[in-house]
Amino acid sequence: MKFESKVILVTGSSRGIGASLARGFAREGGTVVVNYLQNKTAAEDVVSSCIDLGGDSWAIQADVTSEQAVIEMVDEIILETGKIDVVVNNAFKPFVFDPDQRKLAWQLTWEDYQGQINGAVRSTHNVCQAVIPGMKKQSQGSIINMVSNLVERPIIPYPEYTTAKSALVGYSKNLAAELGSFGIRVNCVAPGLVYPTDASRYTKEEVKEMIISQTPLRRLASPSDIEGPVLFLASKWSKFMTGQTLYVDGGLVMK
């Protein structure tokens, strides 16, 4: 499962799951574009580690909720490499998984929902719209959208976050149906609670233990656990898969 000669864009990849995915593609020889919003130093550290692992890499700052910023980012990648083979839409509006501090359903405003929808669906839409023309010309491409197992089993309700991710699943299925005839595949990966990440740092031990106790593999996911499923969906090994959601949560959700 090598990615030599492949160009991969991973949005929101200066830390956490995104950084781990960038390194995973680099380890397999890919050219990885590390997209970030604010932390240039962290993004450059990921780039350095990608190069050390045998891939090629560089960082591009872009707010993926901005259509113009995404167009400029994609144009830069095409100018530099001539193509984009794989996109992983990993960026999302910051969210903290803290059961004690979360807003309850009746406390949420529409603005709370809209912020998460913009972070999940609007950003993905901007990136997809920018890369689809090039992928159509190539008659191939793989788009992987990061969602959450909460869309299937909200073991702790985070309504605004889960609603946005559910919308992203629907968006992805429709995109898969529309783009299949052009050789472009669209799939989702749905992790459970991933630790350690910035989003999960405030998740209390008793909550983690509760999730672990209901997980057949009896542990939480680490960022590196998400690499394999994403690389699989990006590779030729999954060439006849599209419109699917892979749950990567140790069996907490079984589909």
The residues that are catalytic are: 161
Residue 58 to residue 1: CA distance in whole angstroms: 22
Neighbouring C-beta atoms of residue 41, cutoff 10 Å: 9
Q: What are the strands, taking DSSP E only, across 41-183?
A: 56-61, 86-89, 141-146
Place of tokens 């959208």: 145
Residue 71 to residue 40: CA distance in whole angstroms: 20
- CB-based contacts of 36, cutoff 8 Å, min separation 6: 12, 13, 14, 42, 43, 59, 60, 61
